[in-house]
């Protein structure tokens, strides 16, 4: 099919799209990763063509199997319109922070902890835990996790933990490099029993959240809100975490922005470590992918992400182009989100842009790319890039509740 107009209906929104069958199939792929739809309606009703194109985008069906496993059903592409349901929300309760609360972010390589009393941060801690098979979370037991957290002496009344775990159908899933081999803890997470088990071990109320939800909560807590505006919060690290807030509430959806297929193609493509698809947004934006891409292009083995940032600042042409494409990737993600959910403000933070000099270069590129996206306004960083998710986890534990599904 040549270029034409498409109407694509997910379970929570609809998108009008001008393009060919590849553009329509990529939008379907991206919407499922964003809002967790298990059924997509299309018009014109070219279902066989779209299914064939989805298979071309996912040739080994690795993404399709991943989605089926964690959503509980295969993706259905059907002809015709669908009436969107109301987005599921995590709602903020009207109450002032009080008592002792601990917030934890179990990230791609580090465990970060913040200790708060009556809403004020008293202390913070960072522990290197490694990643994947060499992570300290590999085959971890519940008792070992409690020991690793080491927070009982503080005497918390509540503990919030932000995991690198997508929320699908209201529950967190151990679908990340950090958690796919997490032993007893991963199993409890998948069974939706981790909170009750941790609450018993820690002798206080424990709650688990997606790291993107935590970033969104930190932004809400840090900024005044009129209860109407939408904010997309993106945290750049080893991969990408994202949260989407509507006023003072947070959308409860997968928001797997590292798994999108963009037109802003990466200079070097890698197999996504979880879904197996090549050329995802993780290749454009993730720290590990950017460092590896620079090494592959230049032959400069051993180049770290820190080295890559310094090379960008120095004007190295390869590093500069990788950075420009990273900015273009975020702008394209912003375009997909505005197409689906309307205008919003964009907050970008994370360890990837914690260096002030590199961050200034990156922001110049990003500002230029966002000039072509209507309905998006870039916010200045509002939270500490390294502690934001941990702070957000504490805020969620104290001020939010899941009131859907």
The C-alpha angle with vertex 39 and arms to 35 and 43, in degrees rounded to 5, equals 105
Distance of CA 324 to the CA centre of its chain: 21
Task: Inform me whether the pLDDT recorded for 384 exceeds 70.
Answer: no
Beta bridge partners of 206: 159
The kind and range of the H/E element at 336 are helix 317-341
Distance of CA 208 to the CA centre of its chain: 15
Separation of alpha carbons 282 and 352, rounded Å: 13
Q: What are phi and psi of 220, to 5 degrees?
A: -60, -45
pLDDT, tens digit, 9 for 90 and up, residues 317-330: 999 999 999 999 99
pLDDT for the residue numbered 215: 93
CATH superfamily of 90-216+388-402: ATPase, nucleotide binding domain (3.30.420.40)
Beta bridge partners of 137: none
Separation of alpha carbons 145 and 198, rounded Å: 9
CATH superfamily of 224-378: ATPase, nucleotide binding domain (3.30.420.40)
SS (H, E, C) 187-209: HHHHCCCHHHHHHHHHCCEEEEE
pLDDT, tens digit, 9 for 90 and up, residues 107-118: 878 899 999 999
* Global confidence as pTM: 0.93
Contact indicator for 36, 169 with CB cutoff of 8 Å: yes
Contact indicator for 101, 158 with CB cutoff of 8 Å: yes
Average model confidence (pLDDT) across the chain? 92
- Tell me where in the chain the CATH 3.30.420.40 domain(s) lie: 90-216+388-402, 224-378
Separation of alpha carbons 270 and 64, rounded Å: 18
Residue recorded with tokens 């180049």: 303
């Amino acid at each position: 099919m040549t270029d034409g107009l498409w109407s694509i209906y997910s379970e929570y929104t609809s998108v009008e799209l001008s393009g060919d069958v590849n553009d329509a199939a990529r939008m379907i792929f991206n919407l499922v990763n964003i809002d967790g739809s298990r059924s997509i309606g299309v018009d014109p009703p070219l279902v066989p063509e779209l299914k064939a194109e989805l298979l071309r985008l996912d040739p080994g069906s690795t993404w399709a199997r991943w989605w089926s496993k964690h959503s509980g059903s295969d993706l259905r592409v059907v002809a015709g319109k669908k009436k969107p349901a109301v987005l599921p929300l995590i709602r903020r309760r009207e109450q002032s922070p009080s008592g002792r609360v601990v917030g934890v972010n179990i990230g791609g390589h580090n465990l970060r902890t913040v200790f708060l009393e009556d809403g004020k941060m008293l202390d913070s801690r960072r522990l290197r835990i490694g990643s994947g098979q060499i992570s300290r979370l590999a085959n971890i037991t519940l008792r070992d996790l409690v020991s690793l957290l080491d927070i009982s002496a503080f005497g918390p009344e509540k503990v919030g933990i932000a995991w690198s775990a997508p929320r699908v159908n209201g529950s967190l899933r151990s679908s990340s490099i950090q958690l796919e081999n997490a032993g007893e803890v991963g199993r409890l997470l998948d069974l939706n029993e981790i909170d009750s088990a941790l609450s018993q071990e820690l002798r206080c109320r424990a709650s688990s959240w997606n790291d993107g939800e935590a970033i969104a909560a930190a932004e809400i807590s840090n900024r005044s809100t009129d209860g109407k505006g939408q904010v997309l919060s993106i945290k750049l690290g080893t991969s990408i975490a994202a949260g989407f807030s509507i006023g003072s509430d947070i959308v409860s959806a997968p928001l797997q922005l590292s798994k999108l297929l963009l037109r802003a193609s990466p200079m070097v493509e890698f197999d996504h470590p979880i879904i197996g698809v090549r050329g995802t947004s993780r290749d454009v934006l993730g720290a590990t992918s950017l460092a590896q891409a620079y090494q592959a292009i230049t032959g400069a083995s051993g180049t770290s992400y820190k080295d890559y940032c310094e090379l960008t600042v120095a004007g190295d042409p390869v590093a500069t182009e990788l950075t420009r494409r990273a900015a273009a990737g975020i702008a394209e993600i912003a375009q997909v989100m505005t197409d689906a959910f309307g205008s919003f403000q964009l907050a970008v933070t994370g360890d990837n842009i914690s260096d002030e000099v590199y961050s200034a270069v990156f922001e110049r590129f990003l500002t230029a790319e966002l000039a072509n996206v209507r309905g998006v306004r870039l916010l200045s960083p509002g939270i500490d890039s390294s502690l934001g998710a941990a702070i957000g986890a504490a805020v969620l534990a104290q001020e939010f509740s899941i009131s859907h599904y």
